[in-house]
Amino acid sequence: QTSVKALEKLSAMTMEINSYETENFEQLYGDLVIVTDNYFDNVVNTLEVNGRNYRLRLMEPPKLDEADTLSFTPAYAPEYNKVIIPVSHLQPHYFWHDAYPQTLMYSTVGWMLAHELAHGFDSIGRKYDAKGNLNNWWDRNSTEEFVKRKECFKQQYSEYRYNERKLARTNAQDENIADNVAVRIAYYAFEQWLLQHQDEPTFLKQESLPNMNVTPQQLFFLSLAQVWCADVHRGWRQNMLAIDVHAPQEVRVIGMLSNFDEFAKEFKCKANARMNPRRKCVIY
């Protein structure tokens, strides 16, 4: 019963590109005065108009499409059962440039969208039904199994070290769960695409990058990991742990890939190696 309702929710889930298409610029900035000979006045006028618009928004109900259009990440809105995609993600690298393999699309923006989709079924999102209403649609057995599997993530991630200390053991595992679900969704979608195109004459050439002797599957995992490549100043690392609900970038990569059998298979990781532990955490 719970799985049927989960599929209903998934089928009802929509995606929306968050852009300026419905923005009324005439109403927002019609009385903004910009001159060519006074930069300071231009800045003051712009700040005044922005301040007025912000105050007006405080007096109105929030709108779904008022999320930051230039946001760098997609988001899931449980009340609408909708994944919001920033227009800034509609770039050639992700979607339509012939110079890039399709692998990159699946392992980058495909993973990001799958991550937000997964939030519809995490500790918070699962409490909302297909129509975005707060509704306890999970049966008792499914709830108990979810809690049990979530405990696996809680234990696993608390064993990882960052900034020379273990991560805190916390109930807030939704981002880790979404990471792990996302890599499976994105990879299996990529595998389906491979099956449909692997017999094409230019397939291997198209799904490779110069000077990289790797399979399309290996390239998927490498490009996914590269998304989270970051150099965090040592003085900021502990602060980041305190304020960010996400695990540190390197932990996100290690956690989700070490839980995925396909990664170990493609890179031939030995049994019980760091990236191929005997006990793996899987929630969906």
Q: What is the CATH number of the domain that holds 73?
A: 3.40.390.10
Whether 44 and 144 share a structural domain: no
Q: Which of 122, 174, 175, 179 is catalytic?
A: 179
Beta pairing, strands 14-18 & 82-86: parallel
Whether the predicted pLDDT of 213 surpasses 80: yes
Active site residue 179: yes
C-alpha pair distances (Å), 60 with each of 20, 53, 57, 66: 19, 11, 5, 12
- Is-above-0.75 flag for pTM? yes
Q: Which domain, by its residues, includes 106? A: 2-17+69-266
Tell whether 281 is covered by a domain: no
Start-to-end Cα distance in the chain: 16
Residues 6 or more apart from 211 whose CB is under 8 A from it?
none
Whether the predicted pLDDT of 69 surpasses 80: no
141 in Cβ contact with 209 (< 8 Å): no
Whether the predicted pLDDT of 28 surpasses 60: yes
Tell whether 88 is covered by a domain: yes
- Give the whole-angstrom CA distance, residue 107 versus residue 182: 10
Active site residue 145: no
Q: How many helices (H) and strands (E) does the chain have?
A: 12, 5
Q: Which of 116, 174, 175, 207 is catalytic?
A: 116
- Total domain count, the chain: 2
Tell whether 284 is covered by a domain: no
Q: What band does 230 get if pLDDT is binned at 50, 70 and 90?
A: confident
